[in-house]
Amino acid sequence: MVFATVFNNANIGIIGFILSAYSVYVEHKVESQNDDPGGEEFHALCDIEAIGASCSAVFSLPEGKMLSYFGIVPEGHFLDIPNGILGMIYYSYTILGYFLKKNMSAVGGGTFSLLFAPMMNLVISSLAMASSAFLARKLYILRELCVVCVTTHIINMTLWIRAFSTYREGLVVDRRSKKVKST
């Protein structure tokens, strides 16, 4: 019970948000160091030589901006944002959804109930999980280790499993209520 309370979706989302924000910070520092090679040297905390991990190398790959990588937006477009910002948006959605779900009657339904409905949550979590699967496969192919990336992939998998379970529970409840009404 304590485990479920401590590791609720809001707390998991907060951890994911912090890691995503840190990835944006590292990517920015690496880009500015590349623009000014004579400037201050930057060493990311997630670059751990002892285990061969380098998040700064991974964040600067073309896949680090998935929207332009997949041609959804052109490179250099204002929506050509790092994956870390997409993660921050997703984890904000997760955190907000956790608290709104607790107070959904106070919100009054409408758009909020649709945006945070189990089916919508499952769709959004599935997109995050698909992104994680693609990026994890890419890391495996490149033989790169990124501690921040692996941690966010685990977080995304956990949130996807929870979204799937919540959606499935809703289906079971709907089936049971239909059986009761028909008898």
d(CA 160, CA 120): 12
| pLDDT tops 90 at residue 18 | yes
CATH number of the domain within which 109 lies: 1.20.1440
Give tens-digit pLDDT for 110-164: 566 788 889 999 999 999 999 999 999 999 999 999 999 999 999 999 999 999 9
Residue 183 belongs to a domain:
no
Residue 21 belongs to a domain:
yes
Can you tell me whether residue 145 is helix, strand or coil? strand
Residue 7 belongs to a domain:
yes
Which residues constitute the domain of residue 93? Answer: 2-178
Supply the pLDDT for residue 40: 78
Cα 165 to its chain centre, rounded Å, is 18
Give tens-digit pLDDT for 37-82: 777 788 889 999 999 999 988 998 999 999 999 999 999 999 999 9
Supply the pLDDT for residue 31: 86
pLDDT grade for 182, boundaries at 50, 70 and 90: low
d(CA 48, CA 87): 23
Supply the pLDDT for residue 125: 97
Give the pTM: 0.85
Residue 110 belongs to a domain:
yes
d(CA 39, CA 45): 19
Supply the pLDDT for residue 35: 76
Query: How many domains does the chain divide into?
Result: 1
Residue showing tokens 């997949």: 70
Q: What is the separation, in whole angstroms, between the first and last Cα of the chain?
A: 36
Question: Quick check: 147 and 59 in contact, CB under 8 A?
Answer: no
**Weakest-pLDDT range from 104-108, 109-113, 117-121, 170-174:** 104-108
pLDDT grade for 109, boundaries at 50, 70 and 90: low
Q: Considering only residues 130 and 32, tell me which one the structure prediction assigns the higher pLDDT.
A: 130
